[in-house]
Each structure stands twice: as C-alpha cells, then as structure tokens.
C-alpha cells in the first residue's frame, strides 16, 4: 500500500524535527559548556550550501578571495594582532582544496596558459638564485615565495573566471566591500574627537587622522579603492541604466571619501591618472563635474570635512616641495642609493631583498629617519636583480598592458568596454602607485586585474567554443542594461 503525504504535513514534520534538533543542540551545549555549538550547527548548513554553490560556479572562489584581499588583515586586527593570518590566505587555501577536489571528481586536469610561463619561470629562477649573494637570504626566500604564490593566484583567477558576467559579479562584490570600507574610513576620521579638535585648532594646516582601515598601512588601504572606483566611473560615463548611474555616483562618492582620509599621495596620483584615462576613453569630462559637485555637496552637508579636504590639498601640494618635504626627500635618497647599487652590480643585482641591508653603504638611517625600504618597483628590481631582472619584469608588464589595451579596441558591447577600460586603467594606476611606494611585486589586487585582462581577452571570439566537455557550446555575453 503506497503512503502519500501532503505538502502541509511534510512541512509540519520538518518544523517539528527542526525544533527538536535545535532543542537537542542547546541541551548538549549546556551540558558540555560549549557555547559556540549552536552557532556551529546553525551555520554548518549554510557553509555546505555555499560550498555546493562554489562547486557549481567555481568563479565564486575568486570573488571570495578578492573579498578577503579587500578586507586585508581583518582577522589580525580583530584578534589584537594575535593571529598572524589574513582572510586572503584562508580563502586561497580553501579555494585550492575545493578546486583540486572538483577537478579530480570531474576528471578535468586541463589548465589554461597565459603565454607568460617562460617569463615568470625565468624571473622566479633569478629571484631564488640571487639568494646565494643576497645579504638577507631568508627574507628574500619569504618574499620570493610570496611572489610565487601571487603568480599561482594569477593562474587560478585566469582558469576559474571565464565569462563577462562573472567578472561583473566580481566588480560589484568588490564595490560593495569598498563602499563599506570607505564609509567606515570616513566615519572613523570624522568621529575621532582628538583629530577633530586638532584639525580645528590648526585650521586644517596639519595632517591628522590617517585611516588605515583593515590594514596596518594607510597607503595599502588606499589601493583598495582603485578597482571599484574605476568600475563605478565607467558605469557613470557609459550608456547604462540611470539607476546604475545613481548607485555608482553614490558609491564613487563614498569611496572617494575613504581614499581622501588615507592621505596617501601615491594613491591620489594613481587615482587621478586612472580617472583621466577613463574620461579619455569615454571622451567625456562629465565625471570631473560630478566629482566637483560631490565635493560641494559634502562641504555643505558636513562642514567638518572641510578641514580634512584642506589637509588633503596641502599634502598633495607637498609633492612639489622636493627635498623640503621629508617624505619626498627620503624617496630621493632611496632612489639615489638604488642606482648606486645598480651601478655597483648592474648585471645580476645585489640579491633579492638585499636593498635594505645594502642601503647603509650609501646613506645612514639617520638621514632617512630609519626608512630603508625601497619606494619604487623599477629601481628596486634594478638594484636587487640587475639588468636581467628588470628586462624580465618589463617584458611581463608590457605584455599584460598590450593585452589589456587590446581588449578596449576589441570591445563589442557595453559590458566588455566597461570591463576592459576598468582593467587597463587600474593596472596603470597600480603601476603608477608603485613608482612611489614599495611592495609592487606582491600586490594581489594588481595581479587579479592582470589575470582578468587575459580572461576578458579569451572571453571574446576565441572562447565561443567549449574548452572542455563541461563548457556550454556558446558563452553568453550579458551586458549591463
């Protein structure tokens, strides 16, 4: 005899079973004094569902990793510097495990290549070989391994993100996170009573209240806004739906506020060039009018912010102060020392991460206020890896820029143009930023945009046919209405 149950009865049984399960979990947690047990049990189904979604849509891992990158050292900050890991590291490790399991289960071990494999291998080989004569081989090994992970990350993004709509989802997710970070940064700056009083007393003539957000460095934090600001600027200038334009203008305004309160001149210069590039490609200067209007509105709505803007303007003008400005003077000394190292060891350099130790051969730390870290990616590579290193690095970046620029010329629809201009402008912005700041070899945000440039290139006509049995016959191109 067949037994049938109505939908209502099934729902009632499910509710009763859920109630009994929750009750049992609460009782067990009370008995074993494990207060986190209910939360674990309640979140476990969500985690399982989320993992299943990443199995069906692998590009979600890229979004998770990039979100972890934007949130920076949040775990480190929340735990009071007790946990020396970042959300990026956690997300990357989880993604690798998941992707390996999925590919083994599907029997698909194929891997798309960028065409830069020889370049990367030679550069990595030079980095590790240079440790033989580097004055700090351990630090060089650690930083070299970080660069190796960055290269691996490029290929992960390139292989898992293959369609334009996936890239749009990534840009939207990055924008949402950046808006939250920007709002937090502005709030932290404006509500800091001590900073507000100092700004009022100094009438905005002194820099106060640099916000570092989820990182330990306001300059690093400032770079989190470059990608989403470029994306929203493109949406504003493109022929998109008015709703998207309004949302993008609001997001751009909040992120601009977050960028301003970092007082990072390097990021400001990079952002200005980025906006000029975007306006040039759209042949539209309306964005500058929007920015000016937003500044006026902000000054009227939040008068206290005027002191922050005065601080920002003064710090920006100090760029032209030359050696009269300590920050600029130190950068000049670092550059001179770098070229001294290059001349002394022009072919193979002083060894990876050897700049800091060799710097004292040219200047004392007292002259640079204990600053010895290089602030320019070009002269850093010249000093540490010599002519061979700089040639390899420039070949890689030139090839990436050529691909990113060709995407703009090949754009066939609105979405493709937005993505291509976003990629090209932000890659240039990061390269400009790292002519004034150190660490350009290991910036995950830079490398994710480089990977997206290649993904976008192959998401066009060359990807209209499937690359494996699980790929659809055609790859849809969804545009922003």
**DSSP letter string over 68-137?**
HHHHTTHHHHHTTT-----HHHHHHHHHHHHHHHHHHHHT-------S-HHHHHHHHHHHHHGGGT-S-H
∠ CA 382-387-390, rounded to 5°: 60
Check whether 480 has a pLDDT greater than 50: no
pLDDT of residue 310: 61
The reply to whether 164 and 213 lie within a common domain is yes
Residue 373 lies in a domain: yes
Indicate if the pLDDT at residue 129 is higher than 70. Answer: yes
Q: Looking at the structure, do residues 324 and 189 belong to the same domain, yes or no?
A: yes
How many domains does the chain divide into?
Answer: 2
Kindly state whether residues 143 and 89 are assigned to the same domain.
no
Q: Is the domain of 105 the same as that of 134? A: no
The pLDDT of residue 25: 56
Tokens 């049984």, residue located: 13
Above 80 in pLDDT, residue 7? no
Judge whether 296 lies within some domain.
yes
Residue 175 lies in a domain: yes
Do the domain assignments include residue 26? no
Residue 422 has pLDDT above 80, yes or no: yes
Domain boundary among 51, 78, 110: 110
* pLDDT value, residue 194: 62
pLDDT tens column, 97-116: 888 888 888 888 888 899 99
**The domain boundary residue, chosen from 110, 130, 155:** 110
Average pLDDT, the chain: 79
Q: What value does the mean pLDDT take over residues 451-472?
A: 63
Token pair 């995950």 is at which residue? 444
Of 111-125, 176-190, 287-301, 394-408, the one with minimum mean pLDDT is: 287-301
Question: Radius of gyration over alpha carbons of the chain, in Å?
Answer: 25
Cβ-contact 181, 258 below 8 angstroms: yes
Same domain, 170 and 216: yes
Give, in order, the Cα–Cα distances in Å from 430 to each of 222, 315, 425, 443: 11, 20, 9, 9
CA 226 to chain centre: 8
**Residue 479 in domain:** no
Domain boundary among 71, 88, 110: 110
Write down how long the chain is: 481
| Domain assignment of residue 223, yes or no | yes
Q: What is the dihedral of CA 263, 266, 270, 275, to 10 degrees?
A: 20
Q: Residue 148's domain spans which residues? A: 116-463
Query: What pLDDT is stored for residue 151 in this prediction?
Result: 94
Q: Are residues 101 and 121 in the same domain?
A: no
Residue at 475 is within a domain = no
- Buried/exposed 30-61: b ≥16 CB within 10 Å, e otherwise: eeeeeeeeeeebeeeeeeeeeeeebbeebbbb
Both 94 and 142 in one domain: the answer is: no
Name which of 56-60, 255-259, 300-304, 449-453 the model is least confident about. Answer: 300-304
| pLDDT (average), residues 335-353 | 89
Residue 174 lies inside a defined structural domain of this protein:
yes
Predicted TM-score of the model (pTM): 0.81
Q: Which residue has the higher pLDDT, 350 or 473?
A: 350
Mark whether 178 and 228 lie in a shared domain: yes
Task: Examine the pLDDT at 69 and tell me if it is beyond 70.
Answer: yes
Q: Are residues 64 and 187 in the same domain?
A: no
Q: Could you tell me if 333 and 302 lie in one domain?
A: yes
Q: Are 268 and 195 in contact (CB under 8 A)?
A: no
208 and 234 in a common domain: yes
Mean pLDDT, residues 227-246: 92
pLDDT of residue 458: 86
Percent of the residues in the chain that have a pLDDT greater than 70, as a whole number: 72
Both 429 and 372 in one domain: the answer is: yes
């Amino acid at each position: 005899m067949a037994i049938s149950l109505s939908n209502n009865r099934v729902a009632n049984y499910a509710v009763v079973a859920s109630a009994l399960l929750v009750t049992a979990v609460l009782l067990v947690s009370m008995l074993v004094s494990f207060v986190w047990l209910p939360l674990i049990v309640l979140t476990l189904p969500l985690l399982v569902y989320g993992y299943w979604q990443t199995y069906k849509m692998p590009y979600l891992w890229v979004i998770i990793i990039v979100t972890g990158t934007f949130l920076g050292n949040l775990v480190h900050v929340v735990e009071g510097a007790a946990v020396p890991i970042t959300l990026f590291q956690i997300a990357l490790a989880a993604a690798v495990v998941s992707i390996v399991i999925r590919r083994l289960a599907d029997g698909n071990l194929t891997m798309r290549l960028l065409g830069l494999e020889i370049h990367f291998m030679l550069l990595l080989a030079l980095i590790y070989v240079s440790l033989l004569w580097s004055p700090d081989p351990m630090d060089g090994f650690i930083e070299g391994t970080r660069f190796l992970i960055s290269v691996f990350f490029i290929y992960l993004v390139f292989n898992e993100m293959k369609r334009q709509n996936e890239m749009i989802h990534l840009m939207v997710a990055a924008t949402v996170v950046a808006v939250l970070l920007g709002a937090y940064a502005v709030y932290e700056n404006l509500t800091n009573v001590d900073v507000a009083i100092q700004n009022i007393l100094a009438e905005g003539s002194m820099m106060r209240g640099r916000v570092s957000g989820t990182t330990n460095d306001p300059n690093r934090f400032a770079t989190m806004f470059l990608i989403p600001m470029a994306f929203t600027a493109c949406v504003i200038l493109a022929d998109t739906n008015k709703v998207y334009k309004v949302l993008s203008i609001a997001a751009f305004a909040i992120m601009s506020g977050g960028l301003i309160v970092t007082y990072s001149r390097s990021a400001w210069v990079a952002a200005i060039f980025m906006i000029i590039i975007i306006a040039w490609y759209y042949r539209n200067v309306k964005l500058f009018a929007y920015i000016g209007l937003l500044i006026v509105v902000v000054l009227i709505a939040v008068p206290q912010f005027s002191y922050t803007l005065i601080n920002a303007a003064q710090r920006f003008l100090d760029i032209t102060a030359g050696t009269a400005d300590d920050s600029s003077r130190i950068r000049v000394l670092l550059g001179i020392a770098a070229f001294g190292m290059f001349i002394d060891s022009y072919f193979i350099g002083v060894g990876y991460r050897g700049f800091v130790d060799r710097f004292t051969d040219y200047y004392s730390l007292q002259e640079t206020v204990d600053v010895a870290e290089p602030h320019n990616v070009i002269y850093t590579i010249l000093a540490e890896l010599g002519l061979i290193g700089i040639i390899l690095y420039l070949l890689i970046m030139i090839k990436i820029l050529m691909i990113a620029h060709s995407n703009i010329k090949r754009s066939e629809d609105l979405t493709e143009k937005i993505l291509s201009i976003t990629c090209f402008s932000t890659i240039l912005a990061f390269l400009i930023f790292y002519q004034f700041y150190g660490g350009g070899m290991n910036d995950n945000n830079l490398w994710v945009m480089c990977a997206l440039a290649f993904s976008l290139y192959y998401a066009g006509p060359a990807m209209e046919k499937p690359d494996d049995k699980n790929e659809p016959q055609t790859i849809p191109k969804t545009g922003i209405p």
